[in-house]
Amino acid sequence: MRLEVNTENYYRRLDKFLRNQLKNIPLSTIYKLIRKGKVYVNGKRVRDPSFDLEEGDVVELRYVNVENLPKREKKENLVPIPMQLDVVYESEDYLVVNKPAGIPMHPGKGVHVATLIEGLLYYGEKKGFVPYLVHRIDMDTSGLLLVAKSKEAARVLSQLFREKKMEKLYLTLVKGQPPEKGTIEIPLDGSPAVTEYWLVRSFDEVSFLKVKIITGKKHQIRRHLAGIGYPIVGDNDYGDRPFNREFRKRYGLKRMFLHSYSISFRDPWDNEERSFVAKLSSDLLEVLFLLEKGSTKWLEEFFW
């Protein structure tokens, strides 16, 4: 099968492009095809699901009979659901939303709960647009998310991400005492990945960091910080579960301490510099207050 990437079908990531083109094929099967080296881009085998595509690229499935692949079970279409959205900024082309922790981006398996895309669909119905997610953050991560209001706007904003013209900063609490700053360059999913961090505040057992991702791999911050020995507090997938249990008992943290703090870029439509910030949510601030034993001066200087 040969597929050409164009303006109408463009998605930045390879897995998203294939998911859109192969709507009847389960996503697990698509990832399996990529892992097994059945997917080629411009004649070269690609095993990274997050591989960046450009318009004009040719994607091929080789040595595969698509008709024989498993078929995805039909699911109900997404239904717009009323949701109280914290819209930080909105233009004619995109909006910036401050997502609370605990809300998934898309419906998953098992019991269904309201998801962000369904809330955005409801909001879009009222405003007269169809939302497109430009990037994602984990369910238990809070903070800023950029949402396009048209397919063309999604293509333009995705281009900024691909060209590394979109700066995203996160705030996190990690186990241990890392150096004051560092650059992590551990390959992920078979391709280069780069994360930078700066130490903001040290405590007895944990450290508060500001983190910048240069590339955009799945769970990049979590995997990179765990990879250098400083896992995120509350992260039970890549972190220290016994430590997390004790920390929760002492400080009441019920989720991973990771927050999408700011997004900055030059607006492609009016050429203005944009910078958006979402303050830490109350549950994460409470942990820092307790760690500081009531002193908040540095927090006020940092956030306000």
Residue 111: pLDDT band by 50, 70, 90 thresholds? Answer: very low
Residues facing residue 198 across a β-bridge: 181, 210
CA 164 distance to own-chain centroid:
15
Confidence of residue 268 (pLDDT cuts 50, 70, 90): very high
User: Which residue ranges does the chain devote to CATH 3.10.290.10?
Assistant: 2-68
Mean per-residue pLDDT of the chain: 91
Retrieve residue 280's tokens: 């830490």
- Whether 144 and 97 have beta carbons less than 8 Å apart is answered as yes
pLDDT of residue 79: 86
User: What are the CA-CA distances from residue 257 to residues 34, 190, 230 (Å)?
Assistant: 32, 27, 13
pLDDT band at 296 (very low <50, low <70, confident <90, very high): low
- Specify the length of the chain in residues: 304
Which CATH fold would you assign to the domain 164-304? Answer: Pseudouridine synthase (3.30.2350)
Residues 6+ apart with CB under 8 A from 93: 148, 149, 150, 153, 156, 269
pLDDT (mean) for 61-68? 88
Domain ranges in the chain with CATH number 3.30.2350.10: 75-162, 164-304
pLDDT at 112: 67
Active site residue 138: yes
Residue the block writes with tokens 């910048």? 212
228 vs 106 pLDDT, higher one: 228
Give 276's strand partners. 263
Residue 33 contacts residue 64 (beta carbons within 8 Å): yes
The pTM assigned to this predicted structure is 0.78
The structure tokens listed for 176 are 């241990």
Model confidence pLDDT, tens digit, residues 69-108 = 887 665 556 789 999 999 999 999 999 999 999 999 887 6
Class of domain 75-162: alpha beta
Which residue in 15, 52, 138, 235 is the catalytic one?
A: 138
Is the predicted pLDDT of residue 219 greater than 80, yes or no? yes
Higher pLDDT, 178 or 9: 178
Phi-psi region of 119 (alpha: psi -120 to 50; beta: other; left: phi over 0): alpha
**Digit-coded pLDDT (tens) for 165-207:** 999 999 999 999 999 999 999 998 878 899 999 999 999 999 9
Whether the per-residue pLDDT at 292 is higher than 90: the answer is: no
* DSSP assignment letter at 214: S
Amino acid 226: pLDDT: 97
Burial group, residue 264, by CB count within 10 angstroms (0-12, 13-18, 19+): middle
User: Which secondary structure element, helix H or strand E, spans residue 2, and what is its range?
Assistant: strand 2-4
What is the fold, at CATH topology level, of the domain defined by 2-68? 3.10.290
